[in-house]
Structure 1
């Protein structure tokens, strides 16, 4: 039985993955914003639900405190929270929402839980997207724009989504380089029919949903990569298949710069681990 922290667990593929993991006997801390959905999922899984807004640092702090109360070590952290909005929005901290949820939240939560990950199995699975390569309805590869990281000048919902997913992938690879003791991977679960696009005009997403996978189908590779013994450390998966991600995602200079910028926004990635036996 593994001790699992599941961020973004209360709906869509997250909910389906949590149900499967609980059925397999794992102990879960389930993180989400919807209290009713979270309470119901906790009853169904026997896990602990933590209501928190992962887009802000206080939400990250709250989750870390609750996890420490339940677990003395974390075996698996699944970063699955996601957003997509037709208009630019900012958090209570003034940060663009996609950037906060797709990049800052996994960065901050992983950092806060680092001591517990070092005491446990230390696996981090980041749910990403093939959209990190190219934005929907736009031609050309995706790149990080440090001159407009918060998308203040040119907000496009699909471009911003893709850039923040690329940021998450750059973080995944840099995390693997800095903390080789951890087991780290990212995955595209497939194009899954979820409620992420609920705020867009129905006609714009209806055709896409015709070929989309169900939430249960999307959950399957998340469960697999969280629990398999055959995970390739530091890899990106398109569902179950190890795949090369975009050229931009392997740019180490960009990854280093992004890490520095992120620490300026959120503070140091993690406090020093004082127990030398943890080797992390």
Structure 2
């Protein structure tokens, strides 16, 4: 049985990814900060709930200990938890705004990955999927013909760029683990006030696809539903 943890899995892309992976036969740990919502999602899906706040090191370590005691290993980690950031014009973004956004979108991924690395290394075919965004692609954001060009968010966009580089560095350091970043596309979720053009079912497709690549899949890449993301 494949064991999978998804952070931020009580709604949106995380919930849909959990739904699809449960259907594929995974034992899924629904990771969420809010215990009531997380438990409800787990019951709905036939999954297991683990409370985890990616901005809190103690919470992350407790979640890792729970999965270690419960399963002994982790086969798939989906770092999905993220926040939209301050939503301010570039010149109004403060250092504190940047810290808040990075604490979840960047440092949170590192906290979770660091805590779960021993459990991933206990797997025969470990996989990590980091949910980034096309807004994290410098090439896409510089192309006037792309939608990303028109979205100027200093904290959010740069945090997703950093996440792609973090993915690359982990992939080089841990060649036995498949590390990849994904862009779900402009998906209608709470993160953007449900303004996206993709449904969560469409957005989750690339997350699920990369979660099931197995030991011989790509690593160190950045992918959307069409293939490698321009970088």
**TM beyond 0.5:** yes
Aligned residue for 1:44? 44
| Contact 1:135-1:158 at 8 Å conserved across structures | no
Aligned residue for 1:238? 224
How far did 1:44 drift?
2.2
TM-score (norm. length: structure 1): 0.70
Aligned residue for 1:272? none
CA distance in 1, matches of 2:19, 2:228: 27
How far did 1:134 drift?
4.7
How many pairs are equivalent? Answer: 218
- Work out whether 1:102 is the aligned partner of 2:105: yes
Alpha carbons of 1:228 and 1:65: their partners in 2 closer, same or farther (altered >3 Å)? same
| Contact 1:235-1:242 at 8 Å conserved across structures | no
CA distance in 2, matches of 1:157, 1:217: 24
How far did 1:108 drift?
1.5
CA distance in 2, matches of 1:69, 1:231: 28
CA distance in 2, matches of 1:159, 1:169: 16
Aligned residue for 2:205? 220
Aligned residue for 2:60? 60
CA deviation profile, 1:245-280 (whole Å, cap 9, x unmatched): 42xxxxxxxxxxxxxxxxxxxxxxxxxxxxxxxxxx
TM-score (norm. length: structure 2): 0.84
Aligned residue for 1:113? 116
CA distance in 1, matches of 2:101, 2:74: 26
CA distance in 2, matches of 1:124, 1:189: 15
Q: The residue matched to 1:113 in structure 2 has which SS?
A: helix
Alpha carbons of 1:95 and 1:132: their partners in 2 closer, same or farther (altered >3 Å)? closer
How far did 1:139 drift?
5.9
- RMSD over aligned CA atoms reads 2.7
- Work out whether 1:132 is the aligned partner of 2:118: no
5+ residue gaps, structure 1, are: 141-155, 199-205, 247-280
5+ residue gaps, structure 2, are: 144-150
